[in-house]
Structure 1
Amino acid sequence: MEGELLNWEDYKHMEFTQNVIYEAMRCGNVVKYLHRKAIQDIKFKGIVIPAGWKVLPVLTAPHLDPSRFENPLEFNPFRWNVCCNALYKL
């Protein structure tokens, strides 16, 4: 109906709008990394991280990984139309 406000059901059917949001979140990650401290010895990918060591996971790395995203530095909402990238949707 003309002049009617959008509701949640309308939004769910706006695929391109969702793709733009996904791509903006992928490219403009607000939290780049986290500061963490190992509370106990932990083995990760064959490497022991001793208790007390500081760990800095870089959260942007997977979003800019060319093995996951073709041309990862390019803003391209159309990339979310590809079926295999559905794994990365929120």
Structure 2
Amino acid sequence: MVSWNDKVKRLLKSELVKRGVSNADLAVILNEIGVHETKASIDSKISRGSFSACFFIQCLTAIGCSKIEIEEYESSMLIAADPGVEYEKKFSNGN
């Protein structure tokens, strides 16, 4: 069964990691564009994975992400946003 909160949380976290942006950095960047969030509020939202679509788009815009690819995945796979980029798999599915 798909955990949608987990899926969106992983997608946002992967975009932050690819750009080297911490939650503290994100708070600063969001505040610069007029979105008032603290590191603690961002930590909480991302940890739960239950944030609004508005917050999701604000975060992606703030970090300069203009395109994402939403892939079907198993819980042991990474989500990649840039097509054609090779990412190291942390888990093996036996193949």
- Common fold by TM > 0.5: no
**TM-score, reference length from structure 1:** 0.31
**Structure richer in helix, relative to its length:** 2
**TM-score, reference length from structure 2:** 0.30
